[in-house]
Amino acid sequence: MHLQSRRDLSIGHNHTGHTHGHGCAQHSRNAHRILLALILTGGFTVAEVIGGVISGSLALLADAAHMLTDTVALLFAWIAIRLSQRPADSERTYGYHRFPVLAAFANGVGLFFIVAWIFVEAAGRLLEPVEVLAGPMLAVAILGFVVNIASFVALHGADRSNLNVRGAMLHVLGDMLGSAGTCGAALVILLTGWTPIDPLLSVLVGLLVMRSAWFLVKDAAHILLEGAPTGADVREIADELVEHLPTVENVHHVHVWSLSQDRSLLTLHARISRDADPDSAVAAIQSHLAERFNIRHVTVQVEVEGCSDDSVAATC
């Protein structure tokens, strides 16, 4: 005898509309913060191009190209958050919750290409130094640093546990460090005339951005590859359910994965005692998983005898 039962314990169903409303408000706040950073970064990109042309500074033009890439990345991040709120449909039954994770992964990969370009550009400048008008370069770099701080502060008020917000913050942080490095390089060039300081500082900034990009790509890839959420070990889950729920005799075929960084899903087979009520057993399993592992979207296949999947496998 096999009974399959499923109950939706998603946050909206389990906690009343207040929690669901809080989640919508958080997403709206994230979108507004990223949009503000997008406007600031995109606006200054134009100003930096003009400053680079006037001063003849290749460093400013290179940083403008960097900021243009980050402007596009912020645009994608904003679109991703907006799309994630679209409801599920017949083709995307889980909705668009994973789109921000995909955008975060793309942003992280994009950062690697940006860093590689910085390294190549730095090597070229070390081999063939370029004359720079340090005064205009310093003025534009200071303005850029102020704008980047404003963008970072705007994103700092968003949900920093959100991978997409983290990706956007990394891009802005890279811009901020780049502007700081450009300010320092401009001062050194202005005081000493030593131009190699510009590419050397660029390499240092690139290394810092690469380290952060690695962790971003790693976390996003784990979700995209259906990795188990942090703290959810399938063996521990099976053992704990059997240990704490008297009606559950065996738990197997446990699969747990992340739909997004804050939404986990789980399916399992549970063999229960013959005198147990299937609905009560399912409710107890789901309640325990929600309280112990914070997994609230659970599908349980209840079994009283052998596992149907094992029978099919043996026949094949």
**pLDDT tier for residue 16 given thresholds of 50, 70 and 90:** very low
Q: Tell me the pairing of strands 2-8 and 248-260.
A: unpaired
Q: Taking residues 57-61, what's their average pLDDT? A: 71
The third-level CATH classification (topology) of the domain covering 16-224 is Alpha-lytic protease prodomain-like (1.20.1510)
Contacts of residue 222, Cβ cutoff 8 Å, sequence gap at least 6: 258
Map residue 132 onto helix, strand or coil: coil
What residue spans define the domains of the chain?
A: 16-224, 228-315
* Structure confidence at residue 93 (pLDDT): 76
* Structure confidence at residue 282 (pLDDT): 93
The model's pTM = 0.70
20-24, 115-119, 175-179, 240-244: least confidently modelled range? 20-24
Pick the CATH number of 228-315 from 1.10.645.10, 3.40.50.1370, 3.40.50.12280, 3.30.70.1350: 3.30.70.1350
> In CATH terms, are 16-224 and 228-315 the same topology?
no
* Structure confidence at residue 26 (pLDDT): 64
* Structure confidence at residue 58 (pLDDT): 67
Percentage above 70 pLDDT, the chain: 84
Spatial separation of the C-alpha atoms in residues 26 and 23, rounded to whole Å: 5
165-174, 220-229, 256-265: least confidently modelled range? 165-174
Is the distance from CB of 74 to CB of 103 less than 8 angstroms? no
Spatial separation of the C-alpha atoms in residues 183 and 149, rounded to whole Å: 14
Contacts of residue 15, Cβ cutoff 8 Å, sequence gap at least 6: none
Spatial separation of the C-alpha atoms in residues 169 and 154, rounded to whole Å: 9
